[in-house]
Structure 1
């Protein structure tokens, strides 16, 4: 059996990288390959129970002890506990120090790029570029979730493009589910429900979504925004700013924060439109999930165009000058659900069997 040590920084359920890894982990043949995880313990709801049930091990380092020396010590202890064939590094963070030590101990290194920016903060972008310099010399395999994400991290070096995978049948549209979720939030038949899914943060740009919603309800009070996701400690101030804007714009009856939900696949059926106004993304899994469901989507033009599978997917710039475009396109797109979406996906590079084969090739299987 081959064993892979995944360096994802976190195993939180709200983390996009982890949803990508878990979608693969659930489908692999555990007799041939097994995943373990070496991550930071942030104390939030996570996949620990599921990972251990699948046969994997999780090794935590407290967020209070996240110095480079502690990371090195923890990594060396873990790789001496078990023989690892691969270290698979996913997050631009201090954990990137481990790939140099992996090479020194004869472990092959796979580096996976998940974003088109190194950070939404200039200083942190410089820091993360420094953290990633050893990638250029230590990576045996380079992988990216989109062409844009690969070029950003790997610069001039070659990489393999492997799109994110979902269990798309799980996201199939259901009228029963639609009615259940809409009843939960007391939406009427006349309400036009727009969703935005993901961590509440500057990167996901919920602030821009509020500005668009404000313009929409000037014409029709029945527009609702369902914000599906939670904020972490870093996003608390951003969340408070959003709440202030909601009060300022008079949107209290039009914006619903769901918090973290564990059945997000059901929520897509309840939506009439999905917005993804992110400042940057590698390959947002929520977009693939929404396309499987057939809900129309408007995405930031900063996001890879590789996502356009159905005919009801559009891209627009995200700035003050584009507010009018988001408003007018939202009104046109809101009732354009695609009901052949699953068949469409199966004919593309997002086919789950194809993606799983690409992952297994990384591990020599």
Structure 2
């Protein structure tokens, strides 16, 4: 892992980890020492181990520490979840003689993040130099990191951003309890945004949207779930615009599944994504989603729940689109779970597939 912050990438890995047979497959987690949220108890209770390494920003020390760790613990497989940055731990793994090395692409890039995009562009040509196997959450992220030739060769293993679908089924009791705790009535329009606070997730634009939305619906509320580097700047913007009565910051929660029942719509104005876990979770709950046109359509399994809006559209258009979703909500009668299960997003099935793949590519003799 890179820096663990309780985001969707970490959730995807932990979702699979929970449903692996740990007598067959066990993980050691290598995470950066500047991580904000490492689920240490759950990992250790399941028999995993956790090792911390310096940030990749101190690159020589990072590679040296990774190589030392790989030499000491001798894993059968190194599975890197750092997108374009996987070149560094996988180089260390190759130098340490690890026979199976997986590069896993979870995301893409965005031209507006000039420094990050430039760094990724420089690293992408090396993405296939050190891994022995390639993995991705979807075709967009696969093509972005590994290229069209790798896709045509059929050499990419796809690992769905799967979830425990039943945990996200709409629940009226959870809805009532959470809204009551916030002092929000059943008739108030409650929008949610779940994800780490970062430029990519575009929370600043969400504030602009809310400023317009309350002109249409003065009782509307927005709840943020997550933490991250830009959170304090977003809080300052909210205060400057006098929007505190309409916006709540709930931090990192372990009951995010219940919040999908509490919300009336999910706001998802990301600048770029691979295949966002949050969008999958919201669909399992039958929650209407207003998303940017920079999110891959691969994530739109239940299309009746999705409204895509251009990031070039002004905040008023986004606000009106949110209001329009209130008339299309169908939370309790449709079988939203079946649609996602048929598409391969049930975690038990995906974890079994991952376990079988590990066994297939493992250097250990097959039993």
Provide TM-score, normalisation by structure 2: 0.88
Name the CA distance, whole Å, in 2 between partners of 1:261 and 1:145: 24
Stretches of structure 1 that go unaligned for 5 or more consecutive residues are 1-7
CA contact (8 A) 1:312 1:338 kept: no
When structure 1 is superposed on structure 2, of 247-256 and 277-286 the one drifting more is: 247-256
Query: Is the deviation greater in 246-255 or in 219-228?
Result: 246-255
Q: Which structure 2 residues correspond to residues 323-338 of structure 1 after superposition, within 5 A?
A: 323-335=315-327, 336-338=329-331
Counterparts in 2 of 1:310-329, with a 5 A limit? 310=302, 311-319=304-312, 321-329=313-321
8 Å CA contact retained: 1:39, 1:61: yes
- 3-state SS of 1:191 partner: coil
Match of residue 144 from structure 1: 136
Candidates 228, 232, 239, aligned match of 1:231: 228
Larger RCO, structures 1/2 (Cα 8 Å, 6+ apart): 2
Name the one with the larger strand percent. 1
* Conservation of the 8 A alpha-carbon contact between 1:203 and 1:278: yes
Q: Partner of 2:242 in structure 1? A: 250
RMSD: 2.1
SS at the partner of 2:26?
strand
Structure 1 residue 175 and structure 2 residue 167: aligned? no
Q: Determine whether 1:187 maps to 2:184.
A: yes
Q: How far apart are residue 308 of structure 1 and its match?
A: 1.8
Alignment of 1:1-365 (within 5 A): 8-12=1-5, 14-42=6-34, 44-63=36-55, 67-92=58-83, 96-104=87-95, 105-117=97-109, 121-156=113-148, 157-158=150-151, 159-232=156-229, 235=230, 239-240=232-233, 242-310=234-302, 311-319=304-312, 321-335=313-327, 336-339=329-332, 340-365=335-360
Contact 1:90 1:114 survives alignment (8 Å): yes
Could you tell me whether the CA contact under 8 Å between 2:83 and 2:145 is conserved in 1? no
**Greater than 4 Å deviation, 4+ residue runs:** none
Whole-angstrom distance in 2 between the partners of 1:359 and 1:277: 31
Of stretches 73-82 and 22-31 in structure 1, the one that deviates more from structure 2 is 73-82
Shift of 1:171: 1.1
TM-score (norm 1): 0.89
